[in-house]
Homo-oligomer: A and B are copies of this chain.
Amino acid sequence: MNQNNSILKGSLATIILKLLAERERMYGYEITQKVKQITNEEMQITEGALYPALHKLEAEGLVTTETEIVEGRARKYYSLTKEGKTEAASRIEELISSLKHLQNILNPQFSI
């Protein structure tokens, strides 16, 4: 498996917000697995990055949590607050815009 996480740098919080925006709720481990799956096992969110990021989003009031015991293990579900939904939309838009710019730099002949 490729350890190619470079592009995730700085965009982890937005990725989390995007995943949460598409679902009612998700728990941390689920997020790591989802990113692995979407990227064909080529990208991986490390737990040392994920959990602090989730806690920061919670501190910012963008997500709320509810803990449940499922099959004997504790799961902490995260979901977007009202403010989180607004902020998610805004950050996603910004990231897409930045992505387009980056593509322009990398592939000047093919983009936009």
Contact = CB atoms under 8 A, between A and B. Distances in A.
Copy tally for this chain in the complex stands at 2
A103 B92 CA distance: 11
A15 to B, nearest CB: 6
A99 interface: yes
Interface stretch (A6-14, A57-65, A66-74, A78-86): A6-14
Interface of A: 4-11, 14-15, 18-19, 22, 35, 38-39, 42-43, 92, 94-99, 101-108
13 contacts: A6-B14, A6-B94, A7-B101, A8-B10, A18-B105, A19-B105, A35-B105, A38-B101, A38-B104, A39-B101, A43-B98, A95-B106, A96-B106
